[in-house]
Amino acid sequence: MVKAILAPSILLYDNCDLVGGVRIIESSGAQWIHVDVMDGHFVDNISFGPKLVADLRRCTDLFLDVHLMLTHPHQYLTRFIEAGADGITIHQEASCNVEDQLRLIRERGCLCGLAIKPETALNFELLKFVDIALIMGVQPGFGGQTFMPEACDKVLRLREFRDKNILQYKISVDGGIRENVGRNLIAAGADIIVTGSAFFSSPQDFCFCLN
């Protein structure tokens, strides 16, 4: 029985060998690939664009889980959708009408996600419009950071709110997740585990998500 969806992030993987990274993800049994998109403004780093999503689309059938760390995600949504993203997550802190953009992502046939930074309080009103609620376990921008345990409380609250209001969103946690943290998050109610550096240093450690 699958306990959680495993979504390895390719952010820190050697950019000259991303196909190699994708093959490692596929052979681990993971179902999703997490693609971190950064604009150098919303976060202090720059990473991938729609071209990479289009290239990944041609080289794998895995679900492409695109995490937009952008100040103006609405300017780029169409490009990521047309590139072949399966899910697109935008940030609650973005400068746009978040509710409208979530709706647009869904209308275009993708799962829509809403992410929050560690210091941001959840906007529960928005949860009725989302397929994925993504809790950051680190400050967005860089892989390889240490998990902030407060994220676990947010997972518990998201699960409680979902049960009480009969909603369907999946709870995703992203950043700093090693094996023991991942196990605790699943016990707290996480449905999706996003992991980068810990996964690539030992993919077999994440088997616990899958059975």
Instruction: Tell me: does residue 65 bind ligand DX5 (CB under 6 A).
Output: no
Residue 36 CB neighbours (<10 A): 25
Which residues are registered as beta bridge partners of 115? 91, 134
* The residue to which tokens 């947010």 are assigned: 154
Question: Of the listed 14, 36, 55, 191, which one is catalytic?
Answer: 36
Q: Which does 195 bind (CB under 5 to 8 A by kind): Zn ion, ligand DX5, none?
A: ligand DX5
- Cβ atoms 92, 80 nearer than 8 A: no
Which of 68, 67, 76 shows the shortest CA–CA distance to 8? 67
Which of 174, 131, 170 shows the shortest CA–CA distance to 9? 174
What is the pattern of x (binds ligand DX5, CB under 6 A) and - over residues 103-142?
A: -----------------------------------x-xx-
Instruction: Tell me: does residue 177 bind ligand DX5 (CB under 6 A).
Output: yes
Instruction: Tell me: does residue 174 bind ligand DX5 (CB under 6 A).
Output: yes
Rounded Cα distance between 25 and 62, Å, is 9
Specify the residue, 128 or 144, whose C-beta has the smaller distance to Zn ion: 144
Rounded Cα distance between 113 and 92, Å, is 10
- Return the residue nearest ligand DX5 (CB atom): 196
Among 10, 94, 194, 209, contact with ligand DX5 (rule: CB under 6 A): 194
36 is catalytic: yes
Footprint of ligand DX5 (CB under 6 A): 9, 11-12, 34, 36, 67, 138, 140-141, 143-145, 174-177, 194-198
